[in-house]
Structures are given as C-alpha cells and as structure tokens.
C-alpha cells in the first residue's frame, strides 16, 4: 500500500470536517486539527494507530507552523502520547504457536 493510498480516507474525512467547520484543510490552525483528532477519539471506535495515521495525513498536507509540521508540534505530540496511553495499540496477534511443539509435529511427517 502506498502512502497516498493510505492517506486518502483520512484526508477525505479531514476535508469534510474542515468544510463543516468552515476551515481550510491546508492551512487549518492547530486548534482545529486537535478538535478533529479529539472527535475521532470521542465519536468513533478508532484506536491509536488509525488516529496517528490521520495525524500524519493532515501533517503532510497542512502548512507548517514556522518550520515545524503540524504533526510534530509539541501540543499535537502530547495529544498523541496521551492517546497512546489511553488507547494503546492492540497486539496484532492474539496468540502464537510454540515453535518447539510445531517443529516436533512437522518432524513426525515423512520428508
């Protein structure tokens, strides 16, 4: 998956949010970005990783504040850190196989 494909859904949601609140998606103030990210936390079941993806999509296209991208600003980084603590990423796999048991089982078959 390319970065642009991964960002397309979050970017559409961001543009829709900005249109609803009368803000430009490319030059939105930090408070609008944080409002959008907060709404993702409170109004959806999204966890840390998808919300961080939204932040990255916005940060890539939004005008920097001074020389700092929006996603790297201390207040946004603090928000994402708090989100990480509040909704930590879930493990990708709920269980794994024991390697010794698996190899022993496979050895029982003829080559």
Give first-to-last CA distance, the chain, whole Å: 37
Burial 1-14 (b: 16+ CB within 10 A, else e): eeeeeebeebbebb
- Please give the pLDDT value at position 1: 55
Radius of gyration of the chain (CA): 20
Provide the whole-model pTM.
0.74
- pLDDT tens, position by position, 58-80: 998 888 888 999 989 999 999 99
């Amino acid at each position: 998956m390319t970065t642009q494909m991964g960002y397309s859904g979050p970017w559409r949601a961001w543009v829709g949010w900005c249109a609803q609140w009368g803000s430009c998606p490319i030059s939105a103030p930090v408070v609008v970005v944080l409002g959008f990210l907060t709404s993702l936390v409170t109004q959806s079941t999204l966890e840390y990783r998808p919300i961080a993806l939204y932040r990255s999509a916005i940060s890539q296209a939004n005008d920097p504040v001074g020389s700092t991208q929006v996603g790297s600003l201390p207040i946004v980084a603090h928000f994402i850190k708090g989100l990480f603590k509040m909704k930590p990423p879930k493990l990708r796999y709920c269980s794994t196989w024991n390697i010794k048991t698996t190899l022993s089982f496979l050895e029982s078959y003829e080559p």
